[in-house]
Amino acid sequence: QVQLVESGGGLVQAGGSLRLSCAASGSIFPVNVMGWYRQAPGKQRELVAFITSSGSTNYASSVKGRFTISRDNAKNTVYLQMNSLKPEDTAVYYCKLSEVAAYWGQGTQVTVSS
């Protein structure tokens, strides 16, 4: 059974930074994609960024240039460095691992005050 545990959310002022972490445990296929999604109140869950096991990345246009996704394959951990945060970045952020199956974390709240 694969489990994902996120950490690093919190309250920050606009212009500030946060770093999210997501650690995966269990039997994980080595070729996989790890990503971050977010869901704001009343909105659909949307992709923020993803990174493949070989290091290729992709970002939503709304976060490009402000957020950086990275991973440590030895630790099965993915990170999301979020800089220049805006109030519209406020959401619950979810980690997702996609391999043979897809797994989700429990989510971590990020709140950006204006």
pLDDT digit of tens for each residue in the chain (114 aa)? 899 999 999 999 999 999 999 999 998 888 899 999 999 999 999 999 999 999 999 999 999 999 999 999 999 999 999 999 999 999 999 999 999 899 999 999 999 999
Distance CA 60, CA 57 (A): 11
State the CB neighbour count (10 A cutoff) for residue 104. 14
Predicted confidence at residue 28, as pLDDT, reads 87
Predicted confidence at residue 1, as pLDDT, reads 87
Predicted confidence at residue 39, as pLDDT, reads 98
